Amino acid sequence: MANSVVFKVALVLVACMLVTAPYAAEGAISCGQVVSSLRSCVPYLQGKGPLPPSCCAGVRSVNNAAKTTPDRQAACGCLKSAASSFRVIPGLASGLPGKCGVNIGFSISPNVDCSKVR
């Protein structure tokens, strides 16, 4: 079980690096930071538990770190990839920022076009 989780996290990190590579030179936020900040959200987003306070702290942390357009686009790409890799429930993912009282400026959705995030 632990090996499966480690493998999934590693897979998400690799996927996020590939997705965010075009923005790496411009942005200061990394996919690793995003995944690390939101790790505690995964059980909630999979419908396996309540929303932990540490999750909202992570959402605020990502939002505060993603100040520039390249950073927000990179965070968007990472969240989009991670949501798919972790098989989160789309409605829970898209509603997460609102539940935490944060406006991240884009929807966490498999259909979001991160290149249009400003």
Q: What is the mean pLDDT of residues 83-103?
A: 93
> Which CATH class for the 2-116 domain?
mainly alpha
Measured CA to CA, the distance from residue 109 to residue 86 in angstroms comes to 13
Q: What is the pLDDT of residue 105?
A: 87
Ramachandran category for residue 78: left, alpha or beta (phi over 0 → left; psi -120 to 50 → alpha): alpha
Residue 76 has φ and ψ, to the nearest 5°, of -60, -50
Q: Please give the single-letter amino acid code of residue 82.
A: A
102-114 pLDDT, tens per residue? 999 888 888 899 9
- Does the model's pTM come out above 0.95? no
